[in-house]
Structure 1
C-alpha cells in the first residue's frame, strides 16, 4: 500500500525570487518546484525560458504577480553558441540534420563578423520557427511540426538592441560563433543563430543558450534550484526580494497617510508631480508599496493596486510591531 501523501500547508509569500533556471526544466516546472519549496499560495513567472536554456527567470509570488507583465515586456540579454556548418529541423541540437556545408574559418574575419552583426542589429523581421509554442487554431506550432505539417507563419518585427558575434568552439570542439544579444520580447535566438549562419554562407544551429539579464535583473542576484533545495525554510524565504524589485525603473512617489488611503481606494490624487508613464507609489507611514500608476497633468492615476491585506502581510514579513496599528488607517 502506498503511503499517504503529505499535504503542503500553503502560506502567503509576497515578492520576487530570481532563479538561475537549470537546463531541462520548463519555466512552469521550475515555478511549481520553487512554489512547493516556499509553500507559497500564489505564484507566476515572467515569461517562458526554453527548457534547453538556462539563466535568469524571475518568479513572482503573491502581490508581485500583479507586476509580472512588466518583465514580459522587458528587453532580455542572452549568450548563445551556434555550431557552424550544420542546419537542423529545429534550429537547435534537438532536431535532425537537414544540411551540412564546409566552414571556411579564414573567411570569417573580425570585419566580416562585425558586418554580419550590424546586418542583424536594430529592427528586423523573423519568421517564427515551427518548433515553437505559438498557436494556430488553438494548437501549438510544435504539435503540427511533430505531425510533419508545415504551417505558414507571417514574419514578425522584433528589435535587436545590441549584438556581438565572435568565433569560438562549441562544447564538442566544433567551429561555432558566440552571440551576445540584447533583444526585445518575442525574439527567437534559435532563429537569429540560424539566420546568422546563412548570412555567413555555411548555416548554423544553436548548441548553447543562457539568459544573463531580463529588464535589468541579472545573474548576480540569482539562486540555483540546487542551492534552494539545500536551504532550510528560513533561508529560502530570505531569497525572496520585495515586489518593488520589478519596479526599479519606475518613478517613486510617496503619499501622506491621508492620500495613501484614498489612492488604495482607487481614487486619483493631485500634486505637483511631473508627467510620468510609470510610477511606483508608496505610503509614508508605514513606508509600504501601495501599487503603480501614472501621472498626467498633476494627477496621480492608479493602474495596479495592492490590497490592504497584501500590504499588511508584506509588512509582517519583517516584523515591525509599530507598523500594524498605522496600517489600519490606510
Structure 2
C-alpha cells in the first residue's frame, strides 16, 4: 500500500480512550498502536508511563487533545513494588546495578520510614527522565554519562500505604500530585532505610477521576468488531466532569463559540464547561463576572452529561 493511500485511511476521531498500557511498550508506542486501531488522524496521551510500567494511559483523539493539560495536572495513584538492598542507575529494574547492601530493617521500621514521605516533600527528578535541558531530554545526557544538576521540585504525597512486606520486597500504593516520580520515591525510601532500593514494578491505577478498571487492553480493542470500536470511546467533555456546567441559549452560545466574552449566567469564579445545543468548550469566569472562552472545540457530537 502506498504512503498516499495510508494517509487516506486516517480519519477524524474525537473522544477519550482509557488504555491499559502493557509492560514493555513506551507510552508513545502504545499511543501509536491505539491510534492505528481507530485510524485516528490526531492523538495524544496524558502523562508518560515508563516501558516498565503498566496501567492507565488516557489516550485523547482529535478535539479531546485540547484538554490534555487537565489530566497532566491531576493527581495520580500508583501500585509499586520496591526491591530493598539494591540501587540502580535508573532507579528501576531496567538500569545497571550500582550497589548492593544487606537489608536488616524490619516491617515496623519500613512502615515508619514510608510514613515520613506523606505530605509536601521536595524531590529531585531522575536523570533518566524526559525532562528537557537545553532542548534535549535528560535521559540522552544520562546515556552519554553526562550529569546535569536538577533543581528539586515540590510535590505532594497525599497517601502512601504499605500493602505488603515480604523479605526485602515492599508493595506500596501511592496517591500523589502531578510531577511525582515513583522511581525517585523508591530510591529515597531506600536511602532513608540505609539499604537502598529500586523499583521492580509499577502500575498506574487512577488519573484524575479516571480508573484503570474501566480501561481496555490493546488486545481487547482488537477483539471488538471494527464497526463497534467507537463505542468504547468516552466523549470529549468526559474529561471535564469536575467543572461547573453552564448552558447557554443559542444566540449566546454562538457568540461564545466565536470567542466573545459574556456576562456569566452563574455566580461562580474559575474554570467552567460550556454548552449550547452541545459541548462548546471551556471558559473562565473572572473576578468581574465575565465568562471568557478558554478552549473551544469544533462543533462535534458529544454525549453531554
Alignment TM-score, normalising by the size of structure 2? 0.93
SS for the counterpart of 1:223 is coil
Match of 2:195 among 193, 196, 202: 202
Counterpart of 2:76? Answer: 76
Q: Which runs of 5+ in 2 are unaligned?
A: none
Counterpart of 2:134? Answer: 137
In the TM superposition, what whole-angstrom CA distance separates every residue of 1:110-167 from its partner, at most 9, and x where no partner exists? Answer: xx33432331111111111111112222222222222222222221211111111244
Tell me how far apart the structure 1 counterparts of residues 113 and 235 of structure 2 sit (CA, whole Å). Answer: 41
Moved more, 205-214 or 261-270: 261-270
Match of 1:299 among 287, 290, 293: 290
Matches within 5 A, 1:145-164: 145-164=142-161
In the TM superposition, what whole-angstrom CA distance separates every residue of 1:232-280 from its partner, at most 9, and x where no partner exists? Answer: 2222111111001110111011111111111111112224412231201
SS for the counterpart of 1:66 is helix
Runs (4+) of structure 1 exceeding 6 A deviation are none
SS for the counterpart of 1:92 is coil
Q: Give 1:16 shift.
A: 0.4
* Alignment of 1:117 onto 2:108: no
Tell me how far apart the structure 1 counterparts of residues 25 and 285 of structure 2 sit (CA, whole Å). Answer: 41
Indicate conservation of the 8 Å contact 1:273/1:295, yes or no: no
Indicate conservation of the 8 Å contact 1:167/1:175, yes or no: no
Tell me how far apart the structure 2 counterparts of residues 4 and 41 of structure 1 sit (CA, whole Å). Answer: 17
Matches within 5 A, 1:65-104: 65-104=65-104
Tell me how far apart the structure 2 counterparts of residues 10 and 87 of structure 1 sit (CA, whole Å). Answer: 45
Tell me how far apart the structure 2 counterparts of residues 129 and 23 of structure 1 sit (CA, whole Å). Answer: 20
- The verdict on how the C-alpha distance between 1:306 and 1:4 changes in structure 2, with shifts beyond 3 A counting, is closer
Q: Which runs of 5+ in 1 are unaligned?
A: 318-330
* Alignment of 1:314 onto 2:304: no
Indicate conservation of the 8 Å contact 2:77/2:207, yes or no: yes
Q: Give the number of aligned pairs.
A: 301
SS for the counterpart of 1:102 is coil
Tell me how far apart the structure 1 counterparts of residues 89 and 111 of structure 2 sit (CA, whole Å). Answer: 27
Tell me how far apart the structure 1 counterparts of residues 292 and 221 of structure 2 sit (CA, whole Å). Answer: 39
Tell me how far apart the structure 1 counterparts of residues 138 and 10 of structure 2 sit (CA, whole Å). Answer: 36
Who wins on radius of gyration, i.e. which is larger? Answer: 1
Q: Give 1:203 shift.
A: 1.2
Matches within 5 A, 1:1-330: 7=6, 9-105=9-105, 107-109=106-108, 112-169=109-166, 175-283=168-276, 286=277, 288-296=278-286, 297-307=288-298, 311=299, 313-314=300-301
RMSD: 1.9
SS for the counterpart of 2:9 is coil
